Amino acid sequence: NAGVTQTPKFQVLKTGQSMTLQCAQDMNHEYMSWYRQDPGMGLRLIHYSVGAGITDQGEVPNGYNVSRSTTEDFPLRLLSAAPSQTSVYFCASREIADQPQHFGDGTRLSIL
């Protein structure tokens, strides 16, 4: 029973590099989302998807891209990493209806 799986767990990047944070869920959930968590800022929504082929921006989308080609996967791409993107990133999924949102254990990203 894997739930929401995020890889990698830790990553260090240099400014200007690009990378993709992976997220996969095995619960057949339609709704998936990406958050970043920074000290004292809570969880802020970056992008979300209500189903395969459908994505939309959240609260802090700049510098990030997403795509949703399958129900299971929802990767987050950093196009040109900046130190301000140093954060812990969480992927989450749930049913479209009012069901609990399941979170992965996060990717801790440092950008030098």
Partner 1 sequence: QQQVKQSPQSLIVQKGGISIINCAYENTAFDYFPWYQQFPGKGPALLIAIRPDVSEKKEGRFTISFNKSAKQFSLHIMDSQPGDSATYFCAAQNSGGSNYKLTFGKGTLLTVNP
Beta carbon nearer to partner 1, 48 or 74: 48
Count the neighbouring beta carbons within 10 Å of the beta carbon of residue 87.
21
Smallest gap from residue 104 Cβ to partner 1 (A)? 5
Beta carbon nearer to partner 1, 1 or 42: 42
Residues in contact with partner 1 by CB under 8 A are: 4, 31, 33, 35, 40-45, 48, 50, 56, 58, 90, 92, 94, 96, 98, 100-101, 103-106
Convert 63-81 to b/e letters by CB count within 10 Å (16 or more is b): ebebbbeebbebbbebeeb
Q: Is 94 within 8 Å of 101 (Cβ atoms)? A: yes
